[in-house]
């Protein structure tokens, strides 16, 4: 059977083994993988993002290592880059597999939402300068419904979110561009793991990344001229390890706070995915304990079932 007309999506919370599942599927159908990970796009940020490129084992991958560390990549840029790569893979007659746990990326692509470019508003930024994260959060809540904490992780993110909302308020004609036009050929697979197993995997993986040199990686990035605040902006590993490297946290404090933060992040990811389902995106959940061949076989069975609707 030809699977090139099916858009496969492998997603789920952190530490579920999504990449290995996507690679096994890609080998079975001759596909290529587009990453939907908001931090693996940065060059040099390897250990902290779990960027194990050897895991792809020859399978072509895209949207990894496409921006320098310190850069602040936007959802708009991701959608532009995704469309370019997706169209190229389809043009070459290969199946496309998107793999990653950044729920906002996954949902926006699957729903077919387009975003107009939003320029910087220096006057607004000057007006917001000096406001606390709590004040910016309160203001943003008057402008939009917050579905997760991604817009309010930092002052910079909250300021940018307000900037975007204000731009849409001033350009109501652009609102139609952001309306969903769902991709009819999308098959969204969620890799599911029970809570206790997920927590154990997260803790084990964190220790392994520290043993692999994650602290040295952050030191190197700072030595190369990356502003520590830019690394903190990325959150999770880079936030807490950077705070340790610059002397704000002891190693024990860093580990303890980071471990808690990753567990909370995984919980927020699951909240997002459940929200996706409530907002109309079906997710077929498959157990992470399935042997690779069985997992791929179930994915392809689901793809076969959706084929009649693609005529």
Bridge partners (DSSP) of residue 35 are 99
What number of other Cβ atoms are within 10 A of residue 223's Cβ?
8
Is 2 in a helix, a strand, or coil? coil
What is residue 87's predicted lDDT score, i.e. its pLDDT? 97
Which ranges constitute the DSSP H helices of the chain?
18-29, 75-91, 103-110, 122-128, 133-141, 155-170, 195-212, 214-223, 228-233, 236-245, 251-278, 292-306
> Please, are residues 217 and 211 in contact by the beta-carbon 8 Å criterion?
no
Q: Which of 4, 65, 63 is nearest to 31 (CA)?
A: 4
Q: What is the pLDDT of residues 5-34, one digit of tens each?
A: 999 999 999 999 999 999 999 999 999 999
Query: What mean pLDDT is reported for the chain?
Result: 94
pLDDT of residue 149: 66
Give the pLDDT confidence score for residue 151 in this predicted structure.
Answer: 76
pLDDT-based confidence at residue 307 (cuts at 50, 70, 90): low
- CA distances for 123 relative to 58, 127, 172, angstroms: 49, 6, 20
**The predicted structure's pLDDT at residue 308:** 47
Distances (CA, A) of 174 to 106, 114, 137, 284: 22, 10, 24, 33
The arithmetic mean of pLDDT across residues 290-310, rounded, is 87
Q: What is the pLDDT of residue 177?
A: 73
Residue 309's pLDDT band (cuts 50, 70, 90): very low
Residue 311's pLDDT band (cuts 50, 70, 90):
very low
Segment 47-95, tens digit of pLDDT:
999 999 999 999 999 999 999 999 989 899 999 999 999 999 999 999 9
What pLDDT sits at residue 152?
82
Residue 18 CB partners (closer than 8 Å, separation 6+) = 10, 11, 12, 99, 100, 101, 191
In DSSP notation, 17-45 reads -HHHHHHHHHHHHT-EEEE--SSTTEET-
| Whether the predicted pLDDT of 115 surpasses 90 | no
- Greater model confidence, 109 or 177: 109
pLDDT surpassing 50 at residue 116:
yes
Instruction: Tell me the two tokens of residue 137.
Output: 């959060």
Q: Which residue has tokens 């194990």?
A: 52
Q: Which residue has 């007309």 as its token pair? A: 5
What is the distance between the terminal CA atoms of the chain, rounded to a whole angstrom?
A: 15
Q: What is the pLDDT of residue 148?
A: 62
pLDDT tens, position by position, 175-232: 777 788 899 999 999 999 999 999 999 999 999 999 999 999 999 999 999 999 999 9
pLDDT at 290 over 60: yes
What confidence score (pLDDT) does residue 15 get? 95
The pLDDT > 70 percentage for the chain reads 97
Residues 36-46, mean pLDDT to the nearest whole number: 97
């Amino acid at each position: 059977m030809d699977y090139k007309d099916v858009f496969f999506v492998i997603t789920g919370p952190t530490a579920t083994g999504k990449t290995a599942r996507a690679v096994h599927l890609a080998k079975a159908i001759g596909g290529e993988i587009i990453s939907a990970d908001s931090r693996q796009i940065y060059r040099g940020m390897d250990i902290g993002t779990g960027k194990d490129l050897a895991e792809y084992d020859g399978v072509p991958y895209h949207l990894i290592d496409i921006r320098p560390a310190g850069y602040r990549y936007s959802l708009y840029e991701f959608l532009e880059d995704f469309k370019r790569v997706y169209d190229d893979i389809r043009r070459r007659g290969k199946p496309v597999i998107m793999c990653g746990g950044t729920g906002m990326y996954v949902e926006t692509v699957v729903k077919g939402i387009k975003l107009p470019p939003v320029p910087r508003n220096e006057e607004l930024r000057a007006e917001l300068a000096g406001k606390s994260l709590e004040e910016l959060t309160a203001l943003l809540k008057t402008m939009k419904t917050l579905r997760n904490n991604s817009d309010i992780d930092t002052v910079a993110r909250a300021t940018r979110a307000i900037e975007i909302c204000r731009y849409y308020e001033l350009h109501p004609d652009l609102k139609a561009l952001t309306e969903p036009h769902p991709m009819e050929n999308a098959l969204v697979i969620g890799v599911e793991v029970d809570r206790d197993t997920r927590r154990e995997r997260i803790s084990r993986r964190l220790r392994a990344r520290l043993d692999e040199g994650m602290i040295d990686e952050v030191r190197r990035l700072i030595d190369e001229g990356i502003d520590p605040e830019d690394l903190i902006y990325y959150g999770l590993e880079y936030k807490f390890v950077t705070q340790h490297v610059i002397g704000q946290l002891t190693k024990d404090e860093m580990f303890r706070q980071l471990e808690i933060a990753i567990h909370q992040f995984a919980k927020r990811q699951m909240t997002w995915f459940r929200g996706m389902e409530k907002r109309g995106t079906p997710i077929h959940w498959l157990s992470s304990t399935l042997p690779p061949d069985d997992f791929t076989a179930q994915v392809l069975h689901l793809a076969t079932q959706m084929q009649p609707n693609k005529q």
